[in-house]
Amino acid sequence: MSRAVLSIGSNMGDPLANLRSVVEALGERVLAVSSVYATAPWGGVEQQDFLNAVVMAEDPGLDCWGWLALGRELETAADRVREQRWGPRSLDVDVVDCDGVVSDDPELTLPHPRAHERAFVLVPWLEIDPAAELQLGGDARPARELLDGLDPVERGGVRRTDLRLAAP
């Protein structure tokens, strides 16, 4: 059984509908879906805030490469255009973790190379999995410890909303 942690985000078009499209496409594979969070953009590009969430999903027919391919398919279905690094986008689907696998392949780096620096990933992940761990430097590190080590401004920029993503 392959289990993936996916970070999803959107700040173009109808961001909530874009996030919902991921949950709907995953269907019965969804194990847990976090609340929706509003977060300031990351990376220094001027743009509107993002809506972010984390989805934990399971599928015996997918490996880590399969989760990456599925994420890209979902981005394409949402008319994702990659015009500017860290720029606005209709949908971003990142594989944060897949079965604890560590990969330094340029196409599939696992865990996601900046997940440990991003409160918008760690906060919703911890909501659905308080015992979440991330492989860093050969060691499993508690996501709670990683979040606590972030700048308070980074943590404070992740605001829970009343919006919901329907889970199957």
Q: Known catalytic residue: 94?
A: yes
**CB pairs under 8 A, 24+ apart, for 108-112?**
108/64, 108/65, 108/68, 110/64, 110/135, 111/135, 111/136, 112/7
Q: Which of 49, 59, 63, 80 is catalytic?
A: 80
Q: Which two tokens stand for residue 153?
A: 């401004």
Q: Known catalytic residue: 20?
A: no
Q: Known catalytic residue: 155?
A: no
Nearest to 59 by CA among 96, 31, 35, 33: 31
Position 14, amino acid: D
- Euclidean distance between CA atoms 124 and 54, whole angstroms: 6
Q: Which of 20, 29, 94, 118 is catalytic?
A: 94
Q: Known catalytic residue: 80?
A: yes
Q: Which of 20, 29, 89, 118 is catalytic?
A: 89
Q: Which of 20, 29, 92, 97 is catalytic?
A: 92
The helix (H) or strand (E) run that includes residue 44 is none
Cis bond upstream, residue 111 (ω within 30): yes
Q: Which residues are catalytic?
A: 80, 89, 92, 94
